[in-house]
Structure 1
Amino acid sequence: MEMPHYVVDRVMKKRGRKHVFDAFDPKVTAFMVTDMQNAFVKGKVKADSAIAIMPNINLLAQKMREMGGHVAWVQLQAGETDGSSVAELYHKYFFTPQGAEAHRSSLTPGDWGFELCEELDVQEGDIRSVKTRHSAFVPGHGDLHEQLQARGIENLLIGGTVTNFCCETSARDAMMLDYRVIMVSDCNAARFEEDHMAGLTTVFQSFGDVRNVQGTLELLSKGVEVGNQP
């Protein structure tokens, strides 16, 4: 993807540089993969483009481990095994009754839809976290922040689906918690190209950086030698 000219112009006027960060030390960096579950990739609420980004996700995850970094797989839970919702307001007001049931039941632990796609290279030792809100950083609705803090994580690379929903929301909250954030453009997917661009441009302007896999790996390689640069 190419950032629209008006967005780049606005960013240059605001901060005087296109990219926010010059280097990330891999040892204090985690690659957070958001909601790459069967329900979103292959099931009732799927984003077809999420299938296409899985090789990129696996590649970046592999490189992160090789560099001494961390990989975190995050899953959204929407229902309890007794059929109740973990987000009643969301299901009551933002879905039809039928849509709420499909969303809830597809994202309940034990259901096929809740599980991570089998094509993903999930390894023993990776971080695993379940959230019950769109953002992975809402207190009381997930433990990702605590797990990252326990490992001394300062930087987050964000991928997954969908770009302008759970990925963007998590990026915003992560920045507010003082993580340095990069949205990896070709590791994110949305249902429509316009949605994908909306999520990336919003983060790019005020919440983090946007780079593709190649650019992210270059930034991590620099970090091996020089560490983080504010």
Structure 2
Amino acid sequence: MAQPNYPIDRTAYLLVDPFNDFLHEDGKVFPQLKPVADEVGLLDNLRRLDKAVRAAGVRVAIVPHRRWEPGDYESWDHPSPTQRKIMERHHFARGEWGGEFHPDFAPKPGDIIASEHWGQSGFANTDLDMKLKQHGITHVIVVGLLANTCIETTAKYAMELGYHVTLVKDATAAFGHAHMHAAHELNGPTFAHAVRTTDEVINDLFGK
């Protein structure tokens, strides 16, 4: 796989679904992620990356999931299995703590905030592509949750739209090792231009 090249003024860091329900120890979903998240150092790596990309001058884009509201999905013909779980368990509920951004990863002035995605792609039916292109972005570094759903699908969609795509395998998590293996060892190399670690991305950004 080719080594990544990050033109700073054309690179965006896509942080997918940084909600309390996903990233806080008291979140509704975090307990299912905790074993893998702790193993890879998810939270610390996301903190390190947030600091590094901002210091390097990389533009940050927040890519949020649809926040659940009463009435979502019930009348749909074909809600996905994930959407059914959200409907039943009220993950990322709008107006509730779980649907707020984790305080360590909340948007800062100048960040791109995409419209909310209903499914697994941060690009499908949102304004993310338009906003990235308006800022001249050609390269994306994709992190957040979940490795084998929203991260993989967002990154695949980015590739289809012509972006250079980097996955960061220890800046994401999933519900088990098999999901992580599929995302990074089997599927990732078929579409991503680079599959890196947090340390490698930081070194790439600063030319080390």
Question: Which TM bucket (shorter chain)?
Answer: 0.7 to 0.9
The counterpart of 2:65, out of the listed 76, 86, 99, is: 76
146-155 vs 46-55, which moves further? 46-55
The counterpart of 1:135, out of the listed 121, 130, 154, is: 121
In 2, are the aligned partners of 1:72 and 1:128 still within 8 Å (CA)?
A: yes
Matched ranges for 1:1-230 at <5 A: 19-41=1-23, 42-46=26-30, 47-48=33-34, 49-50=36-37, 52-80=41-69, 83-85=70-72, 88-89=76-77, 91=79, 94=81, 99-103=85-89, 105-120=90-105, 122-129=107-114, 130-138=116-124, 141-201=125-185, 202-222=187-207
Cα pair distance change 1:205/1:216, threshold 3 Å: same
Cα pair distance change 1:22/1:166, threshold 3 Å: closer
Structure 1 distance, partners of 2:55, 2:29, is 34
Gaps of 5+ in 2: none
Following TM superposition, by how much is the alpha carbon of 1:184 offset from its aligned partner in structure 2, in angstroms? 0.8
SS at match of 2:142: strand
- Aligned match of 1:16: none
In 1, are the aligned partners of 2:148 and 2:179 still within 8 Å (CA)?
A: yes
In 2, are the aligned partners of 1:171 and 1:181 still within 8 Å (CA)?
A: yes
Q: What one-letter code is carried by the residue in structure 2 that aligns with 1:106?
A: H
Following TM superposition, by how much is the alpha carbon of 1:196 offset from its aligned partner in structure 2, in angstroms? 1.1
Q: What one-letter code is carried by the residue in structure 2 that aligns with 1:207?
A: A
Gaps of 5+ in 1: 1-18, 224-230
Following TM superposition, by how much is the alpha carbon of 1:182 offset from its aligned partner in structure 2, in angstroms? 0.5
Following TM superposition, by how much is the alpha carbon of 1:119 offset from its aligned partner in structure 2, in angstroms? 3.0
In 1, are the aligned partners of 2:73 and 2:83 still within 8 Å (CA)?
A: no
Please, what is the CA RMSD of the aligned residues?
Answer: 2.5
Structure 2 distance, partners of 1:27, 1:137, is 21
Structure 2 distance, partners of 1:62, 1:173, is 26
Q: Deviations over 1:121-176 (max 9, x none)?
A: 642222222222210111xx221111111111110101111101100000100000
Q: What one-letter code is carried by the residue in structure 1 that aligns with 2:117?
A: K
Structure 2 distance, partners of 1:142, 1:86, is 18
Count residues with an aligned counterpart.
198
Q: What one-letter code is carried by the residue in structure 2 that aligns with 1:194?
A: A
Structure 2 distance, partners of 1:35, 1:185, is 16
Structure 2 distance, partners of 1:64, 1:185, is 16
SS at match of 2:190: helix
Following TM superposition, by how much is the alpha carbon of 1:86 offset from its aligned partner in structure 2, in angstroms? 5.2
Cα pair distance change 1:95/1:215, threshold 3 Å: closer
- Aligned match of 1:3: none
Q: Deviations over 1:46-70 (max 9, x none)?
A: 3224474122112212221222211
TM-score, with length taken from structure 2: 0.83
Following TM superposition, by how much is the alpha carbon of 1:78 offset from its aligned partner in structure 2, in angstroms? 4.9
